[in-house]
Amino acid sequence: MAAGRSVHKISEELKSLTLRGPAGGILLDEDDEAVRFANVRKNDFKHWERVRGRLINILDGLELHTSVFSSAEQRRIVDCVYDFQEKGRKGRLRERTYLKPKKWMRGKGRVTIQFGCCYNNAVDGNENPPGIIRDEEVDPIPPLLKQMIKRMVAWHVLSPFCIPNSCIVNIYDRDDCIPPHIDHHDFVRPFCTVSFLSECNIIFGTELKINGPGDFSGSASIPLPLGSVLVLNGNGADVAKHCVPVVPTRRISITFRKMDDSKIPYDFIPDPELQNLRPLSLRGQNHPNILPLQQDQQDEPPKNAQHSQKVQQAQHAQKVLQSLAQQRPMRLSEDDFPPLSSNTTVQLRRK
């Protein structure tokens, strides 16, 4: 089999995952998606604090995946979010899907649009406690956001064993923020957030200080590049609190989460498009029935410079795919999630 066919095979598998815009237009730019997938980078983080007398990495379980969504894709996703916002303003979304503060206050002006379930941050007027309101309906996840989920599962960003069935869109204007919190356990782990429009820092720590409205400080700060996906799991989701201080300019984030089975709304219908998603198959030693790209390439020499470049790109993609294949899911016990206590700051270090 020729090397060109090997690259073509990867590209064909990716075609079914092409994101499409609201009007059905192709969302992907013109780059070869197989090469783009190979260029996605994952960063893990270390930050040590003493919790109940034990020094632990409070960021264990955090992953930052960069270059997941291109600039062209980001623009189309943002346009889609603005379309949701306009529909919400005009009352064309189900009640509680679109939420806007009655009165803007510094740090409390975020517009939220939630799909899949209605979630309460605090006790509401009907005395519903914080968490998922099971007897309240909101709009289902829109097609474009479902395609984002498919992309993230396919590209090994999200686990196929924890596919999101809800999401919340946050639209920040200048001086908006998200206060310190740990995500409610009505949602299972891992979950993720995708960043758009402007870069900002997300702050982590077992103790986060509130200096004033929207002004927070903590022991670890992570910048969130545009189009990146931050996956929260383990200590990073359940031991460390996190927050986003006031932003200097408009920002959009989309957080995808899977509901705990016991908390799913009563009238919720699982979306067949999000069932049984699988990551792209990995070619190499872990899959003996699939020939590695290098072996395919030996059957026919490059015919021209462009073909040679494709071969080099395929070789690079193969190295990344083999690296992904060697990853193993982290197994954590209850001992990894001790109650919050005093902290000791140690220098943040990125793998």
Residue 126 within any structural domain of the chain: yes
Phi-psi region of 248 (alpha: psi -120 to 50; beta: other; left: phi over 0): alpha
The 8 Å CB, 24+ separation contacts for 116-119 are: 116/140, 116/141, 116/164, 116/165, 116/166, 116/167, 116/259, 116/268, 117/166, 117/259, 117/264, 117/265, 117/268, 118/265, 119/166, 119/168, 119/184, 119/186
* φ, ψ (nearest 5 deg) of residue 203: -105, 135
Q: Are the C-beta atoms of residues 19 and 144 closer than 8 Å to each other?
A: yes
Q: Which residues pair with 191 in a beta bridge?
A: 232
Domain of residue 83 covers: 3-282+327-350
CB atoms within 10 A of CB 93: 19
The overall longest dimension of the chain from CA atoms, in Å, is: 71
Q: What is the pLDDT of residue 13?
A: 52
Residue 277 within any structural domain of the chain: yes
pTM beyond 0.85, yes or no: no
Q: Cβ contacts of residue 241 below 8 Å, gap of 6+?
A: 180, 181, 182, 204, 205, 206, 207, 208, 218, 340
pLDDT (tens, 9 = 90+) of the chain, 351 residues, equals 443 434 455 455 555 555 554 444 444 444 466 778 888 889 999 999 999 999 999 999 999 999 999 999 999 999 999 999 999 999 999 989 999 987 666 767 799 999 999 999 877 777 788 999 999 999 999 999 999 999 999 999 999 999 999 999 999 999 999 999 999 999 999 999 999 999 999 999 999 999 998 999 999 999 999 999 999 999 999 999 999 999 999 999 999 999 999 999 999 999 999 999 999 875 543 333 322 323 233 333 444 555 555 556 556 655 655 555 444 433 333 343 333 333 333 333 344
Distance CA 177, CA 175 (A): 7
Q: What is the pLDDT of residue 301?
A: 41
Q: Are the C-beta atoms of residues 337 and 57 closer than 8 Å to each other?
A: no
**Is the link from the previous residue into 190 a cis peptide, with omega within 30 of 0?**
yes
Residue 52 within any structural domain of the chain: yes
Distance CA 74, CA 80 (A): 10
CB atoms within 10 A of CB 4: 17
Phi-psi region of 184 (alpha: psi -120 to 50; beta: other; left: phi over 0): beta
Residue 319 within any structural domain of the chain: no
Q: What is the pLDDT of residue 335?
A: 40
Q: What is the pLDDT of residue 330?
A: 35
3-state DSSP percent of the chain in helix, strand and coil, to 5? 25, 25, 50
Residue 119 within any structural domain of the chain: yes
What's the Cα-to-Cα distance from 180 to each of 65, 192, 240, rounded to whole Å? 23, 17, 10
Residue 321 within any structural domain of the chain: no
Q: Are the C-beta atoms of residues 254 and 148 closer than 8 Å to each other?
A: yes
CATH code of residue 59: 2.60.120.590
Q: What is the pLDDT of residue 128?
A: 82
Q: What is the pLDDT of residue 37?
A: 83
Distance CA 179, CA 206 (A): 14
Q: What is the pLDDT of residue 19?
A: 58
Q: Are the C-beta atoms of residues 280 and 13 closer than 8 Å to each other?
A: yes
Q: What is the pLDDT of residue 315?
A: 60
Residue 301 within any structural domain of the chain: no
Question: How many domains does the chain divide into?
Answer: 1
Tokens representing 24? Answer: 């059905």
